[in-house]
Chain A
């Protein structure tokens, strides 16, 4: 079974530029999560999708961050414009809707963003 795919793995941009990250979850997983992980901290949930609907986006800075999952499969996370404090690893995870699996998340390798 293929894991969660993310691209790119690394991205360096200057502040005020735009950037987009892509995630393809495990096949059949209805729930998709985007996390921000700042160095030395645990992942912080930015947005959670179930199929193509948003379950929670309370911690998403909506003035600059946006995310979509149009067909209920892969997803993109965009930052526009980027700030220095957005430097972090952006992790995508997915989980199934079946029984206890709803809580068991599988993570991709992440995208390390550096904003200069």
Chain B
């Protein structure tokens, strides 16, 4: 079945550093969404992408819709401690909505 694979699985970074993570699929997606989940809470939508090649920013976050439509990237600039959490990519698959495997981000102050 369709899957969304995220890398890295987890990462430790120093406060102030930039972060990059990606999400790949074996099949085409027409919409990519990025969510963040804090411990004990539900995911919160960060950015939605609707067009191949699209680059969208939300504050210090920037996401890109890959031109092959099989991948997407999320960058966080100048990380701060509250960026800690799990980042998920997601999208409407052929038959059902799918979430990725997640990237766990830990920021060292």
Contact = CB atoms under 8 A, between A and B. Distances in A.
B33 A104 contact: yes
B85 interface: no
Interface string B36-70: 00001111110010100000000000000000000
Contacts, number: 57
A4 interface: yes
B88 A42 contact: yes
B7 interface: no
Among B41, B43, B91, max chain A CB count under 10 A is at B43
Interface string B78-91: 00000000001011
Contacts of A25: none
A109 interface: yes
Contacts of A106: 45
B interface, size bucket: 20 to 34
A107 B4 CA distance: 20
Interface of A: 4, 33, 35, 41-45, 48, 56, 58-59, 91, 93, 100, 103-110, 112
Contacts of A45: 96-98
A104 B99 contact: no
22 contacts: A33-B97, A41-B101, A42-B4, A42-B100, A42-B101, A42-B102, A43-B99, A45-B96, A48-B96, A48-B97, A56-B95, A59-B96, A91-B42, A100-B48, A103-B31, A103-B91, A104-B45, A105-B33, A105-B43, A105-B90, A106-B45, A108-B42
B8 interface: no
Given A42-B88, A100-B48, A103-B31, A4 B42 contact: yes
A91 to B, nearest CB: 5
Contacts of B41: 109-110
Nearest to B31: A103
B16 interface: no
Contacts of A4: 42
B87 to A, nearest CB: 10
